[in-house]
Amino acid sequence: MTKTVKIVASVYSKQEGEAYRIYVNDTLMTERTFRWPVGQTYIDENIVINAPPGEYSVYVTPASLFEIKQVTVDGVQSSASFKIG
């Protein structure tokens, strides 16, 4: 049985003007290129998945240029690794 889950990940840039990719486990969810001031602004990525119970992880690449500082799963503060169940 699967469950529809909304993940919000706040992505911060460490360097201006680069592309990034967001993954849940090893599945590419989105790829974007934005230009915003380093460390001052972030973008909330809204990701909706239909997934079976289990362990999940949301991450951004390249990790040397971007980081995820906040994650919520169905409106509840979470870490980047979380359980659906």
3-state secondary structure 33-80: ECCCCCCCCEEEEEEEEEECCEEEEEEEECCCCEEEEEEEECCEEECC
- Is-cis flag, bond preceding 53, omega within 30? no
Q: pTM for the whole thing?
A: 0.88
* Domain residue ranges in the chain: 3-84
pLDDT tens, residue by residue, 40-76: 778 899 999 999 999 999 999 999 889 999 999 999 9
pLDDT tens, residue by residue, 7-29: 999 998 887 767 899 999 999 99
